[in-house]
Amino acid sequence: MDESVILHAERSFLVCRKPVGVECEHELPALLAEEMKCKADSLYCIHRLDRAVGGVMVWARTPKAAAELSRQVQEKALKKAYFAVCSGIPTPDTGEMRDLLFKDSVKQKSFAVSSSRRGVKEALLDYHVLQDAVLNGSPAALVRVTLHTGRFHQIRCQFASRGHPLLGDGKYGSRVKGAIALQSCGLQFLHPETGKPMAFTLPLPEGAFWKPFEG
């Protein structure tokens, strides 16, 4: 590997930077195991990122740590933050998005729906517009998102349903070509052994969609 994917490693867990284009079930554990000189089946997946999305993740290295970190996910003690670049500028510039989402397993896509039924789950996130710019002649905004639920394609669907698809996300209506402008940029959780608060952050990624917001 040309660049390390490991950001932090201890006996019970590790924190990594998932590259864009790598899936979480087989490819990422293989990358981590190669760098850690361990077996891929000794790593426990706590949460996932879409193949098209990169960024910071935590993996457990023992069954006990996996159980503790999974408990934090269930109890919303593990906090996840993202950078996104969306079409248009959301208003107000700080707020929450609360929706009912239905996952269509055939189309591998989520839809915002108006009423609850089988397969529908509530989705909640907070967002804050950090900067705005003009990209390809159209307004766009750099947004920091904090997830409170972890639904399938949640950020992509919720922003698109309000007319602000993420740049490069053709599946949810973006007409702009390129990699999806979404990155997992922050994780906060409690150390699975000591309970100490842990926090990890990443800067803006490289790429055309992010350049107007650098510096």
pLDDT averaged over every residue in the chain = 95
Handedness of CA 16, 19, 20, 25 (dihedral sign): negative
Q: What is the mean predicted confidence (pLDDT) over 39-48?
A: 94
Give me the DSSP letters along 92-160. SSEEEEEEEEEEETTTTEEEEESS--TTEEEEEEEEEEEEEEEETTEEEEEEEEEESS--TTHHHHHHH
How would residue 136 be classed by pLDDT, with cut points 50, 70 and 90? Answer: confident
Q: Which positions are catalytic?
A: 50
pLDDT digits (tens, 9 = 90+) for 196-215: 999 999 999 999 999 999 86
Per-residue model confidence as pLDDT tens digits over 63-121: 999 999 999 999 999 999 999 999 999 999 999 999 999 999 999 999 999 998 998 99
Share of the chain above pLDDT 70, in %: 99
